[in-house]
Amino acid sequence: MVGSIGISKIKTAIFISGNGSNMKNLIKFSKLKTSPIYVDLVLSSNKKANGIRYLKKNKIVYKIFNFKKKKDENKVLKILKKKKINLICLAGFMKILSKDFIKKFNGKILNIHPSLLPKYKGLNTHERVIMNNEKFSGCTVHIVNSKLDSGKIILQKEVRISKKDNPKTLSKKILKQEHVLYPKALKKFLSKT
Ligand code: GAR
C-alpha cells in the first residue's frame, strides 16, 4: 500500500508496461494529503518494465500479467475485486483491455495519451506528429471506453513543437507536461464522481 489511507481516498491500481515515470509521479502524488487517491497496487504487462525497479526499491505491491489471454484478465479482475479497487489509472500501459474488462470497470478507467486527442490515436504518436509538421502536440487524460483512445476527455495540455524537435525531444517535453496533467485530471474527475 502506498500513501496514507485517508477515509475518502479512492483505492487505485496503476497499470504500466514500460518506464513508469507517470506511475512514479502518481505514486508521489498519492502520498500528498490533498490527493484524492491512494495507490494500492501496480500491475505491469511486462516483466522487464523499467518501472518495476522503482516498485522493488520502494517495496510497493506489484504483479505481472501479460494480458495476452482472457484468463489473465479474469485473474486481474479477481485481484482488483479482492482489493476493492475503485479506479484504474493506465500509465504507459501498452495493451488493449477487452470490452468485457472495460465494461466491468465502466467509467472508472483513466488513460494518459501523448497527443491532443482526438488527433493521433494509437502508437508512434510523436513520429506521426513530426512527419506532419504539426506546430502543436500535447497530452490528454481521458476515460477509457471500448474504442481506442476515444473516451471522454478530462483534461488536455498543449505543447508547442519547435523546428528542432524530433520524436525523442518532443516525447520528453510532453512527458514533463503529462506529470502535471495526470494529477490535475484526477482531481477534476474525482471531484465530480
Ligand atoms: C507516456 O508518454 C504515455 O502518455 C504513453 O506512453 C508513455 C509512457 O511513459 N502512453 C501511451 O502511448 C498509451 N497509448 P512512462 O512509462 O514513463 O509513464
Same domain for 10 and 99? yes
Work out the pLDDT band at 124, boundaries 50, 70, 90: very high
Same domain for 126 and 72? no
Model confidence, pTM: 0.95
Query: Rounded mean pLDDT of the chain?
Result: 94
Q: Contact at 8 Å (CB) between 13 and 44?
A: no
Same domain for 102 and 117? no
Residue 70 is predicted with a pLDDT of 82
Task: With CA atoms as reference, report the closest residue to 118 among 138, 146, 90.
Answer: 138
Region 137-151 average pLDDT: 97
Q: Is 120 contained in some domain?
A: yes
Residue type, 30: S
- Give the CATH number for residue 74: 3.40.50.170
Same domain for 162 and 99? no
Q: Is 151 contained in some domain?
A: no
Region 164-170 average pLDDT: 98
Region 62-74 average pLDDT: 89
Q: Given ligand 1 and candidates 178, 181, 182, which is best to mutate, with the most ligand atoms within 8 Å of its CB?
A: 178
Q: Contact at 8 Å (CB) between 183 and 29?
A: yes
Maximum CA extent, the chain:
50
Pocket of ligand 1 (CB under 6 A): 18-22, 91-92, 112-114, 175, 178
Range of the domain at 136: 113-141+157-193
Over residues 36-48, the pLDDT tens digits come to 999 999 999 999 9
CA distance 121 to 117: 7
Task: With CA atoms as reference, report the closest residue to 89 among 72, 70, 108.
Answer: 108
Q: Is 4 contained in some domain?
A: yes
What are residue 175's phi and psi, to 5 degrees? -55, -40
Same domain for 85 and 121? no
Same domain for 5 and 60? yes
